[in-house]
């Protein structure tokens, strides 16, 4: 018998590859600005600008590109040539049109689980971009509901559960980010399974002490979900 | 007795002032670039860039600012000084932090209608920005559900109705844009009331012929909704 009524999947780096594209974009950015600073310093400054702008811009490609442009004008002491600004805009447009690379085994897992469970997607980031990625992924039909959350915190998850009218005990979240997919879900009394991805954004990392006090299973691959359940 | 189960409100220029802020931002942009072109030409080019980028960027302030920066690099023949780029970013940040100016009578209307109807908000634009505006508006408690749609087309509305499990006959939409709030709602067999705002974005305008063949009431102020219902 099904243990849960609803299984929710994170999208970026759980269903498909995402983080490496951001790392790649940041490397391109650092190279473009290497006339002003070391690439290491550029990456550090960019991180500060991006995370500083999250309350205002939120997550996603458009926010990242706006922060890149701000960071570039600052690093150049307002001398940034427009040709570089243009190339930063291009980095963003390339990210927004990248083909979707599904993680191994995703289709088989969704095919199997969709027979016994209601599957949904809970992702954060930019609304339009995430919807379009889901469409391009070919996975849309497996999901009963898709929700793009502005922030994955306990309140956000509780709102989704209220809205779908399900109790925490009937809800399971699967994702790669402890900070966004696991800890806030455990906090509202639901269950979560951690499936790490080889690359994680610095902003999403969690201290070892925090990880140690929480109880959640970690699987090395999404393919192991079916047997685990 | 209540005629509808759910009444949905558009947000921008239905609950609060929005369009004039975009016009103001465009005027500031045109002034910043007036060293390169007439303000009229700049406005025309900006409109082309913004609407051309909608499939990729969607709606909202961040999309508008990215398009402004692209338009500025183009108009300057890649000679745009970084100081202007920086000022364009500032225009965006100001837009994202503007206080909310509610339209007259909104609180009274929501107070009255919320006694007999389930009220929701259906808006398009940027997820985080719209959520934050709703929070700042102080109106959040009147609404049972808030949904930011990437595009307000018949499929989008149908998805919302399915999701909320309501029939089209039980659904009424109120908004200022014929293109986004009225016509797609009539198309799925639900009802809509048009409450025009004095300023509308060119992209949202609809030909007179299209308006003539559709049947919907127009009210000159949201305050007239209560008596009308």
What are the tens digits of pLDDT across the range B11-63?
999 999 999 999 999 999 999 999 999 999 999 999 999 999 999 999 999 99
Q: Quote the CA–CA distance of A10 and B170 in Å, as a whole number.
A: 33
Q: What is the mean pLDDT of chain A?
A: 93
**Closest partner CB to A93 (pick from B56, B85, B97):** B56
SS3 labels along chain B: CCCCCEEEECCECCCECCHHHHHHHHHHHHHHCCCCCCHHHHHHHHHHHHHHHHHHHCCCHHHHHHHHHHHHHHHCCCCCCHHHHHHHHHHHHHHHHCCCCECCCHHHHHHHHCCCCEEEEEEECCHHHHHHHHHHHCCHHHCCEEEEECCCCHHHHHHHHHHHCCCHHHEEEEECCHHHHHHHHHHCCCEEEECCCCCCCHHHCCCHHHHHCCCCCECCCHHHHHHHC
Hey, are the CB atoms on A126 and B73 less than 8 Å from each other? no
Whether chain B has a CB inside 8 Å of the CB on A92: the answer is yes
Hey, are the CB atoms on B128 and A81 less than 8 Å from each other? no
> B225 versus A212: which is more confidently predicted?
B225
Closest-CA distance of chain B to residue A222, Å: 28
pLDDT 10s digits, A43-74: 999 999 999 999 999 999 999 999 999 999 99
The answer to whether the beta carbons of residues B128 and A153 sit under 8 Å apart is no
- pLDDT at B1 (0 to 100): 54
**CATH entry, B6-16+100-228, from 3.40.50.300, 3.40.50.720, 3.40.390.10, 3.40.50.1000:** 3.40.50.1000
- pLDDT at B33 (0 to 100): 97
Cβ under 8 Å to A: B residues 47-66: 56-58, 62-63, 65-66
* Mean pLDDT computed over A187-191: 96
Whether chain A has a CB inside 8 Å of the CB on B71: the answer is no
pLDDT level of residue B198 (50, 70, 90 thresholds)? confident
Closest-CA distance of chain A to residue B186, Å: 24
- pLDDT at A1 (0 to 100): 54
What is the ipTM score, two decimals?
0.91
Domain made up of A19-97: CATH architecture = Orthogonal Bundle (1.10)
Whether chain A has a CB inside 8 Å of the CB on B85: the answer is yes
pLDDT level of residue B169 (50, 70, 90 thresholds)? very high
> Residue B22: is it exposed, middle or buried by C-beta count within 10 angstroms (0-12/13-18/19+)?
middle
**pTM, full prediction:** 0.91
Domain boundaries, chain B: 6-16+100-228, 19-97
pLDDT level of residue A158 (50, 70, 90 thresholds)? very high
């Amino acid at each position: 018998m099904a243990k849960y009524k609803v299984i929710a999947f994170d999208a970026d780096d759980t269903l498909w590859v995402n983080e490496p594209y951001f790392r790649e974009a940041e490397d391109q950015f650092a190279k473009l600005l290497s006339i002003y600073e070391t690439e290491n310093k550029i990456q550090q400054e960019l991180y500060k600008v991006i995370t500083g702008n999250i309350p205002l811009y939120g997550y996603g490609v458009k926010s990242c590109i706006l922060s890149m442009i701000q960071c570039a004008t600052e690093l150049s002491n307002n001398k940034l040539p427009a040709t570089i600004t243009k190339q930063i805009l291009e980095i963003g447009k390339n990210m927004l049109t990248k083909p979707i690379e599904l993680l191994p085994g995703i289709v088989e897992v969704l095919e199997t689980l969709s027979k016994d469970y209601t599957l949904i997607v809970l992702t954060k980031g930019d609304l339009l971009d995430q919807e379009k990625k889901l469409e391009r992924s070919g996975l849309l039909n497996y999901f009963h509901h898709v929700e793009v959350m502005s922030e994955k915190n306990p309140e956000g998850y509780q709102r989704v559960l209220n809205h779908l009218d399900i109790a925490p005990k009937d809800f399971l979240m699967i994702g790669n980010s402890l900070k966004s997919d696991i800890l806030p879900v455990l906090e509202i009394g639901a269950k979560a399974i951690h499936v790490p991805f080889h690359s994680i954004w610095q902003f999403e990392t969690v201290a070892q002490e925090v990880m140690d006090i929480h109880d959640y299973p970690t699987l090395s691959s999404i393919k192991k979900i079916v047997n685990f359940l």
